[in-house]
Amino acid sequence: MDMETARTFLEAATAGSFVAAAERLHVTQSTVSTRIRHLEDQLGCQLFVRNKNGAMLTAAGVRFQRHAIAMLRLWEQARQEAALPIGHRALLRIGSEAGLWNRMLNRWIPWMRRNAEDIALRCEVGLADDLLQRLRDGTLDLAVLYSPRAVPGLAVRLLLEEDLVLVRVRPAPSAGGDHYVLIDWSDEFQRSIRLRNPELLSTPLSIGVGTLGLDYVRQCGGTGHFPRSLVQPMLDQGVGEVVPEAHPFSLPIYAVHPAEPDVSVLETAFEGLRAILGSDEVTGNSQQGADAQ
């Protein structure tokens, strides 16, 4: 079985549809169907039940899924470690959403270079679903995310749960008014806003990266929800104030990794995270698959 066939099988299993799998893989639906049919011929069993609503794994497909994940991950690990820089014992590939690099992981990289010089680093920025896909494919070892969905074969560990506070900064004289700035912290935050304060969704300004949103509020004024640790220096300087809320929001941060990782390398990464977060919460146990949520 070639690796493209393995990727196609896993994508179809996750999407529940050959059409959706074809869109994600940027191939035709007939290509997906042909690859799956050839794989079923090789294995001598049916992997999917096809119907007008999509494609569901059979019992044989469910059993094969974990082996496909393991094969793809092993191949990617072997391919990248073959090109490991001289003098390094391992490669750690880490990805995160942009806002978390700006807030946290930009301090983690220097810690790793000082304390784990024999571990080469590959650092990526991406969207949550893309990073989860890369973890499953074996092209990432660790991802730090706000609200990961449950994916078979991946384990999720709570790193930190921050308080989100509503901060108001008086608008500058030339600014466009004292309006709410909606920050896309996570899917869970968006759902909570929709349930508790749906009127805030009509704001004229929405920003996807929290640090950019905070820069705007500092410069132009307005209100927005931000992690207390991020805004505390600004509040200490007398810039802005916290608006009390009856039901405060929280913002959990998670680390996601394969269920069977390279423990020695991963624990070094978590040691660095503990150091920069100054919190023992990073040592919490991992949870796998659907239990992670």
In tens, the pLDDT along 112-148 reads 999 999 999 989 998 888 899 888 877 889 999 988 8
Q: Which of 71, 117, 121 is nearest to 96 (CA)?
A: 121
Q: Place 52 in a pLDDT band, splitting at 50, 70 and 90.
A: confident
Among 31-45, 78-92, 150-164, 192-206, the least confident range: 78-92
Q: Is 70 exceeded by the pLDDT of residue 86?
A: yes
- Average confidence score pLDDT of the chain: 86
Q: Which of 259, 271, 267, 274 is nearest to 90 (CA)?
A: 267
**Burial, 280: exposed, middle or buried (Cβ in 10 Å; 0-12, 13-18, 19+)?**
exposed
Mean pLDDT of 58-87: 81
The tens digit of pLDDT for each residue in 229-288 reads: 889 999 999 999 999 998 889 989 999 998 877 788 899 999 999 888 874 344 444 555
DSSP state of 84: P
Q: Is 70 exceeded by the pLDDT of residue 184?
A: yes
Q: Are 287 and 155 in contact (CB under 8 A)?
A: yes
Structural domains present in the chain: 3-82 (1.10.10.10), 85-156+253-277 (3.40.190.10), 161-251 (3.40.190.10)
